[in-house]
Amino acid sequence: MKKNIITEISEDEKKYEASLRPQSFDEYYGQESLKDKLKVYVTAAKQRGSVLDHILFYGPPGLGKTTISYIIGRELGANIIQTSGPALERPADLASLLSSLSRGDVLFIDEIHRLKKNIEEILYPAMEDYKLDVFSGLDVDTGRKSIRIDIPQFTLIAATTKAGSISAPLRDRFGIVEKLDFYNEEEIRKIINRSSKVLNVEIEPDAEVEIAKRSRGTPRIANRLLKRIRDFAEVKFNGIISKHVATSVLDELDVDKCGLDANDRTYLLTIIEKFGGGPVGVDTLATALGEDNETIEDIYEPYLIARGLVNRTRSGRVVTNEAYVHLDLSH
């Protein structure tokens, strides 16, 4: 399957997207129920002068897990240290981070489901008792000797797209576990409106609505589409993003009215044309599409399932009647 602006994000793009991230709860549109709870937790911790409980955020990519984690850090007035599961290759990597923390600091670990088991085990006493086991040499009987040292109380905020891949012992040590859901069109429209001001681009209300409809309920995608439409507006039009400009560019980018791109449609058509609409196992489907299982499960399927276009069953993936209607195919 070919890559495109919906599924591909470069390092430069990540840095640029960071400039569009809201800096406070008031600037953060959507996830209202979650925000209300987090405001209470943060305010209560500040009033007591205590450290906020450890938090685990999960949900599909691009919904704002990193953004809201940083907002929590700012609201707490805390120093934020960021890393990721894959970046922590050795136990010493995590031990070094933990030993450098000050009281009340926030340690943010993205993709925590990708932590190695031996590194994960270092987190248990750190999260529960604020203790760190430090290797201090070899023991004749056990082969390994360590000492346990105190570390300052801190808040671990973790994010994952695969909550089911996190071990139960680790998951149980989070005091707050919250899921981020897809955004509705009005919430996405507000995000587009805010981002257009940050980007200093003029956009008409009807264009905001049109982009919101095709953004898959995902702020990251909405911002990415907005930037690409801005490019076209500046080069091929008068610089103003009208509904006509937005529609024309989105059609040219091959993003349909439901937010599906070429890869999504290929996914659906493969199940329909090669496997009679399903059921088909993810391994077989991944081979047919030339993709890995993780990309299919984490990137494509969450939105398709949320839109009711695909069902996951015990026997495999099945395309729904709604998918046939959307693709204008007979069933």
| Percent of the chain predicted with pLDDT > 90 | 76
Identify the pLDDT of residue 1: 53
Determine the average pLDDT of the residues in 147-158.
91
Which residue in the block uniquely carries the two structure tokens 């009679």?
Answer: 276
Burial of 50 (0-12, 13-18, 19+ CB in 10 A): exposed
Identify the pLDDT of residue 238: 87
pLDDT tens digit sequence for 81-138: 999 999 999 888 998 899 899 999 999 999 999 999 988 988 999 999 999 877 654 4
Domains of the chain, with CATH numbers?
31-179 (3.40.50.300), 185-252 (1.10.8.60), 262-326 (1.10.10.10)
Identify the pLDDT of residue 278: 87
Active site residues: 65-66, 110, 161, 220
Identify the pLDDT of residue 18: 62
Q: Say if residues 159 and 109 touch (Cβ distance below 8 Å).
A: yes
Which segment of 136-140, 168-172, 265-269, 317-321 scores lowest on mean pLDDT? Answer: 136-140
pLDDT tens digit sequence for 12-59: 555 555 678 899 999 999 999 999 999 999 999 999 999 999 999 999
Q: Where are the alpha helices (DSSP H) in 77-116?
A: 91-99
Between 249 and 278, the higher pLDDT residue: 249
Alpha carbon 60 to its chain centroid, in Å, reads 5
Indicate the helix (H) or strand (E) that contains 241. Answer: none
What is the Cα–Cα distance from 219 to 21, expressed in whole angstroms? 10
pLDDT at 298 over 90: no
Query: Per-residue confidence at 140, pLDDT binned at 50, 70, 90?
Result: very low
Burial of 43 (0-12, 13-18, 19+ CB in 10 A): exposed
pLDDT averaged over every residue in the chain:
89
pLDDT tens digit sequence for 245-274: 999 999 999 999 999 999 999 999 999 999
pLDDT at 61 over 80: yes
Nearest CA to 207 out of 222, 217, 218 is that of 222
Partner residues linked to 155 by β-bridges: 106
